[in-house]
Amino acid sequence: MTYSGFQIRHLSFHGSEKEPAVVSFQFGLNVVYGASDTGKSYIVEAIDFMLGGKGPLPDIPQAKGYDRVLLAIVFDDGSETTLLRSMAGGQFQAFEGLHTSIPDGEGSTLSEIHNERDETNLSSFLLSKIGLAGKRIRKNAKDETQALSFRNLARLAIVNEEEIIQKRSPLSDGNYTANTANTSVFTMLLTGIDDIALLSRKSTSTEEQKRQAQIDLLDQLITDAQKRITTISGSRDELSDQEERLTRAMDNRAEQLAFTEERFKSISTKRRSIIQRLETNDDRYTEIATLLDRFKLLRDHYVSDYERLLGIRQAGSFFSVLDQEICPTCGALPDHHDPSAVCHGDVSVTVAAAEAEMQKIETRQTELATTIAALNAEAQSIQKSFPNLRKSLSELSSEIEKVVSPDLRKQRATYKELADKGANVREALGLFANLSDLTNRKATLERQNEGGSADATSNNRLTSTVVAPFAERVQSVLLEWGFPGVEHVHFDTNAKDLIVSGKARTSYGKGLRAITQSAFTISLLQYCADNDLPHPGIVVLDSPLLSYREPDGADDDLRETNLNANFYRYLLGLESDRQAIIVENMDPPSDVELGDRVIHFSGMADEDRFGLFPH
């Protein structure tokens, strides 16, 4: 960073049928004084306009017919540029060299709007000449930055007759949203450091914000988890112990339970088999009863058949005794009759058959008797077995129902209780684990955020440390000028303004406000130049000595003092690399030798120069 201020050489106005109105300046002090309405203030407006001011220029009658302005500038590197602009505003044409008449040719176009992406604009052009190209200044509390425009500097160097008496900080332009930016510009000029480092801070602030959002969410989850944990009785360690104990108890119970279940199973199996046997026996008993019924019926049959056969045999034997008569069927005599003829039937055969049948029946009867006896015996033994089986069954049933089942139920219930308790304990432990996990994550994110903000070294703020040497400079300037009663000047970083001997600058009358504003502006140039810090290199002030013309009451009246002479003498001592253009109504005091540094606008036709524009 170095100081490389520029200087204005000529300001000229041109119109197609008009004689150019030219005013020229040199290094150091330049004074333009004279009557009202001679265009003195117009000069200040025009300089501002030609250094990028919005325009259009005020419509004064003297300017009628003039449509273009030229501003010839000499830069610190020796280069010379003349800027051409229409008095209505718009773009600039830049020409090499110093011109007081419209140059031929095209010149290069410079846009009147600062554009950080495209250098073909006046602001970038001027900034690069004074060494402040590409700078950024903080524009709001979120540390967002904007590109530095020459206009930010112009307002600290050029002060018109309204601004010079404004009851506000020299840093303010009346638009409070620009306050941060304006303060940043001032800080940058004093420190030589711009706010480009805030760029990284801006992008991390998005990440910081994301992390902060995560931190906030985690906070909520942590609060929820803590709430749930308060419903748990017992600390984390107590719960861990409990879990261990429960697990061991469960293992114990599991063994017992297995044993009881085994017992239950074996008794159940025995019982089932007894029930089956009872059923089988019952079925068999019923089957036997049915069989016996049938066999008894059969036995009756055998008996009755036997009786019949007995009858047949007897009948047969008596029949044989009787004499045979003539066969009525075939009419044959006994001797000639075939005894085996069917019409007779062989009685003896029948009797023989009867006897054979009877024998068979006897055999069958014996067999049947045996079978019946066996069945009876079986039925009896089955019957005998019932009481025992039923007794065993009831014993086993009662054992199961009264002992084993309840035991089993109890043990299962206990086991389940333990299992449930275990589950609860584990759930509670889970909550603790969850809480510590959330807390850890929050801590990690917080550390990341703190780390981020620790890296933001660029905290270029307007502190009293930064501004103290500047305030000292203002103090020495005011002392040199003989400002009444000045003892100590310091800069209030809150009000962003000077406190002169304990009094706020803005509480002075407008005359003293003008002086102190001028002191501020001039001190800024001096401070930067002397400390090799960038500055445009010029100050342009309209009516700094207002208190000599229109004082605001007795306190504001400096007419009895030497301040004006001291003022001019001070400015005469400016170094050659700096320029001051002072526009005043009052004549400079006669005891100050201004020589050719003074331009007089007489306002009268034949005396000196009439005014800015020819009469």
Taking CB under 8 A as the criterion, which residues in 568-587 touch another protein? Answer: none
| Residue 329 binds to another protein (criterion: CB under 8 A) | yes
| Residue 296 binds to another protein (criterion: CB under 8 A) | no
Contact pick of 213, 326, 369, 374 for another protein (by CB under 8 A): 326
| Residue 289 binds to another protein (criterion: CB under 8 A) | no
| Residue 319 binds to another protein (criterion: CB under 8 A) | yes
Asked if residue 168 lies in contact with residue 183, where contact means CB atoms within 8 angstroms, the answer is no
| Residue 461 binds to another protein (criterion: CB under 8 A) | no
Q: How far is the CB of 378 from another protein (least distance, A)?
A: 21
| Residue 309 binds to another protein (criterion: CB under 8 A) | yes
| Residue 322 binds to another protein (criterion: CB under 8 A) | yes
Q: How far is the CB of 328 from another protein (least distance, A)?
A: 4
Contact pick of 286, 324, 388, 436 for another protein (by CB under 8 A): 324
| Residue 254 binds to another protein (criterion: CB under 8 A) | no
Judging by beta carbons within 10 Å of its beta carbon (0-12, 13-18, 19+), is residue 430 exposed, middle or buried? exposed
| Residue 307 binds to another protein (criterion: CB under 8 A) | yes
Segment contacting another protein (CB under 8 A): 207-215, 347-355, 425-433, 534-542? 347-355
Interface map 354-383 toward another protein (x if CB under 8 A): x--x--------------------------
| Residue 232 binds to another protein (criterion: CB under 8 A) | no
What counts of helices (H) and strands (E) characterise the chain? Answer: 11, 16
Question: 466 Cβ partners below 8 Å, 6+ apart?
Answer: 187, 190, 191
Q: CA 575, 577, 579: angle at the middle one, nearest 5? A: 80
Token readout for 322 is 């009787």
List the one residue out of 229, 218, 222 whose CA is nearest residue 431: 229
For residue 56, say if its preceding peptide bond is cis, omega within 30 degrees of 0: yes
Q: How far is the CB of 357 from another protein (least distance, A)?
A: 5
Outline where DSSP puts E strands in 37-157.
68-74, 80-86, 92-96, 108-110, 136-138, 145-147
- Of the pair 258, 333, the CB lying nearest another protein is at 333
Asked if residue 393 lies in contact with residue 278, where contact means CB atoms within 8 angstroms, the answer is yes
| Residue 308 binds to another protein (criterion: CB under 8 A) | yes
Asked if residue 233 lies in contact with residue 178, where contact means CB atoms within 8 angstroms, the answer is no
Asked if residue 608 lies in contact with residue 600, where contact means CB atoms within 8 angstroms, the answer is yes
SS (H, E, C) 275-318: HHHHHHHHHHHHHHHHHHHHHHHHHHHHHHHHHHHHHHHHHHHH
Give me the sheet containing 28-34, strands edge to edge: 158-159, 538-542, 579-584, 28-34, 598-601
Q: How far is the CB of 377 from another protein (least distance, A)?
A: 24
| Residue 479 binds to another protein (criterion: CB under 8 A) | no
Alpha-carbon distance of 276 to 297, in angstroms, equals 32
Asked if residue 457 lies in contact with residue 197, where contact means CB atoms within 8 angstroms, the answer is yes
Asked if residue 111 lies in contact with residue 120, where contact means CB atoms within 8 angstroms, the answer is yes
Contact pick of 311, 485, 502, 614 for another protein (by CB under 8 A): 311
Segment contacting another protein (CB under 8 A): 229-237, 310-318, 472-480, 485-493? 310-318
Contact pick of 250, 353, 419, 586 for another protein (by CB under 8 A): 353
- Of the pair 365, 531, the CB lying nearest another protein is at 365
Interface map 529-568 toward another protein (x if CB under 8 A): ----------------------------------------
Contact pick of 167, 248, 272, 294 for another protein (by CB under 8 A): 294
> Which parts of this chain interact with another protein (CB under 8 A)?
294, 297, 300-301, 304-305, 307-312, 314-316, 318-319, 322-329, 340, 342-347, 349-354, 357
